[in-house]
Amino acid sequence: MGELELEQMQEKIDAGILLAQQRLKEKCKKEDGELVIMRDGEVTHITAKDLEKME
């Protein structure tokens, strides 16, 4: 695989990750749920209401 092909593949992977994050946020809001993420080495709970404030 050449350098250009690797770069294109990485761009597709990055786009897929962003899309998955967006869908997860939307699902959390729709279900009035909570996301559990790791931020700065600590487990953090984010409610749907907090997600709306972040945007």
Tell me the pLDDT tens digit for each residue of 17-37: 999 999 999 999 999 999 998
For the chain, list the strands marked E by DSSP: 34-39, 42-47
pLDDT surpasses 90 at 51: no
Please state the pTM of the whole predicted model: 0.74
d(CA 41, CA 43): 7
Give the list of residues 6+ apart from residue 30 with CB closer than 8 angstroms, or none.
none
How many CB atoms within 10 Å of residue 35? 17
| Average pLDDT value for the chain | 92
pLDDT surpasses 80 at 55: no
CB 28 within 8 A of CB 51: yes
